[in-house]
Chains A and B, each alone.
Chain A
Amino acid sequence: MTGTQRNLLMFGAMAALIVLTGFTQSWNSALAIINMGLISAVMALGVNIQWGYAGLYNVGTMGFVALGSLAAVLVGLDPVPGAWEAGGLRIFGALAFGALVIALAALIYRRMDRGKTRALAVAALLAGGFILYRFLLDPAVDAVEAINPAVQGNLGGLGLPILLSWPVGALLAAGAGWLIGKTALGLRSDYLAIATLGIAEIVIAVLKNEDWLARGVKNVVDIPRPVPYEVDLRANPDFLSVVQWFGADPVSAAAVAVKLCYAGLFLAVLLLLIWLSEAALHSPWGRMMRAIRDNEVAASAMGKDVTRRHLQVFVLGCAVLGIAGAMLATMESQLTPGAFQPLRFTFLIWVMVVVGGSGNNWGAVLGGMLIWYLWVQVEPWGSSLMSLVTSGMADGSPLKQHLIDSAAHMRLLVMGVILIVVLRFRPAGLIPGK
């Protein structure tokens, strides 16, 4: 059996698992798994670009995904009336001022000679700048957050088509990636890991607490959609006639139809990204990247600027993560910062990449689909297992209740075991990189 055949077989098996879910559970859940699986595949692709192409270890996936989701709000939502006049401009003025202060401090640091004077000057500038920044920012934030706080209290977005937020999400995430890459690339790989872990937490902290930006933990729930709404479909006579022809139930048919639209969009993005990254990998740039990955020392001895190349790859990978985040928020029509958990949005993505096969785009896709499938399915499996185990126990016994409750956390354990077992016995993953 050739490699291609084996890979096709594995994708076939994956498809069979999902079809099985369609028959045994519902087509709606099967499609839900496909859609989130596709988004997960895009995330895995982003991590794979960084890890598989360049060996960069990013454990801040969650942060870049969240920035992409933020883009969906900032692009897709209509502007909140009066918010810009009330304080929006001043907020951006304050942010620009803050950036200016930091730039000035950096300039002073570079221009002045080392010594007490420099340290004092930089400290004084930063302290003064910070006070002034807060003086500018705080009233504006209060003003914006005072506008109709029950449903708004934020600036809103630009009112542009939501699909535009996907590239914008890429840009936002890429920007953050550039900043962090500038700091931590070129140091030990562990340091990049710790730095990305931190930036992810900060992004989430900002999303949770800056209500003027995206309502914080009050969530944004009405991000416009690029596809029809179920209610509209159910009222559409053409749709109903088609549904009737299939002999299906209009409510579930509408849900399935909407999910199919999303699936089409996501699949298009995924294929485009794979095509782009395969093309990049086979270009002279990609060959150089692989040369650097295989032997960093030799590559830098040949005059390649390794850190610069790494920065490029890192930023590209972050951009892909940003797209995935925007896709996620678009599909869910909402931004819930509290839902961003590192286990789910960082470490699970890593399981996908490792299981799929680091360095291989198709591996990332397969890993994304498979691990997402397992993540969704292990919980009900665990519950059935626990009810089987506890079936002999008396109802209402605290141990029985505890065991049944604990099933919810079984998937963490399962994911850990999968990761460990794959790393140990098949370190190249299901579809090894070339």
Chain B
Amino acid sequence: MDAANALVAFTNYVLLPGATYGAQLALGALGATLIYGIMRFSNFAHGDTMAFGTMATILVTWLLQSIGISFGPLPTALIALPVGIIATATFVLATDRLVYRHYRRNKVPSIILVMVSLGVMFVMNGVVRMIIGVDDRQFADGARFVFTAAQFKTWTGLAEPIALRVSQVISLIAAVVVVAWLYWFLEKTRTGKSMRAFSDNENLALLSGINPERVVAITWILAAALATIAGVLYGLDKSFRPFTYFQLLLPIFAAAVVGGLGNPLGAIAGGFVVAFSEVAVTYSFRKVATYLLPDDWQPDGLLQLLTTDYKVAVSFSVLVLVLLFKPSGLFKGKAA
């Protein structure tokens, strides 16, 4: 029984939140890594692209709510999501046209593109704050739980509960669906293959008649969609605040680098590695230990490696360890 309680506590406080957060990070990192794979630069505006997409989705959600449309037990934001994706894709395609395309044609070093993305980051940041403000926004509606802590306890008779939130289930399902679709797209479709070819060897792709502008446009659309989905899932799970999204840049990059920049499979793995490290390192294992250890071994402390304030340090440490020991990432990336 104690072992079951320990396992349940671990699931509720580490496994579930870690998997949810990992799914969100993986989707964010996928977008960043796709841009890197095709355009060869780290897009510093990616966090703010997530914020922009989430903002657009929230605005549509409010509109839907105000005219009385809802999605039953599911959040209304899911209906609004496609509109958010279209708005974000339009915005990033416009930035590509107005800003990035010039540099691509002139074949500038990638660091200049990184710098340009800083400018885009500022603009997006300003736009988001001007439109929706800087405050915390809760936009999750519908049912909150698939089952609550109390329900779980009555069913199982265990002392420890698991509360399964709707947002967690949505995050996990959405991540699986999106990743499966993306895999199919990249592996099986002509367009997806041409993107891989372009990422692999740009010159040879040109020789083969692959249109670079089309590949780039599709990459932006995919990245915008992934960023919006990741942002909305994160916002449903926690809340939306522009600054928080800006700060997601670091774990997202950490995930992309850990997996190997430019490698989609790596981005997914990296997302979960970073998320689980963050959650596990900042979780107090005291409760788990009380069930597993004999009474006279009970720990005094919280058994917490770091306080949650140092979450950022965890993604950073994972990043540094990978840079030190395996700079090309766990999976082979495009960068050495």
Contact = CB atoms under 8 A, between A and B. Distances in A.
Interface of A: 55, 57, 59, 130, 134, 138, 183-184, 187-191, 193-195, 197-199, 201-202, 205, 208-209, 342-343, 347, 350-351, 354, 402, 405-406, 409-420, 423-424, 427
Nearest to A407: B130
Contacts of A187: 323, 327, 336
Choose among A193, A199, A347, A409 the residue with the greatest number of B CB atoms under 10 Å from its CB: A409
A342 to B, nearest CB: 8
Main secondary structure, interface of B, reads helix
A198 to B, nearest CB: 4
A190 B110 contact: yes
B27 interface: no
Interface string B230-256: 000000000000000011011001100
B184 interface: no
Contact of A416 (B126, B316, B335): B126
28 contacts: A55-B111, A57-B114, A190-B335, A193-B42, A194-B254, A195-B319, A195-B323, A198-B312, A198-B315, A198-B319, A201-B250, A201-B312, A202-B310, A209-B310, A343-B125, A347-B121, A347-B122, A350-B115, A354-B115, A405-B133, A409-B130, A412-B122, A413-B126, A416-B121, A417-B122, A417-B123, A420-B120, A423-B116
Contact of A189 (B110, B134, B312): B110
Interface string B301-324: 100010101101101100110011
Given A57-B115, A419-B119, 5 more contacts: A55-B111, A57-B111, A191-B257, A413-B127, A416-B123
A410 B129 CA distance: 9
Contacts, number: 142
A390 B77 CA distance: 31
A416 B111 contact: no
A203 to B, nearest CB: 10
Contacts of B335: 188, 190-191
Nearest to A348: B122
B111 A189 contact: yes
A194 B121 CA distance: 15
Contacts of B126: 409-416
Nearest to B243: A341
A187 B327 CA distance: 8
Choose among A354, A413, A420 the residue with the greatest number of B CB atoms under 10 Å from its CB: A420
B324 A183 contact: yes
Contacts of B29: none
A59 B118 CA distance: 10
Given A347-B118, A420-B119, A205 B327 contact: no
A343 B110 contact: no
B41 interface: yes
B254 A416 contact: no
A193 B114 contact: yes
A416 B114 contact: no
B41 A343 contact: no
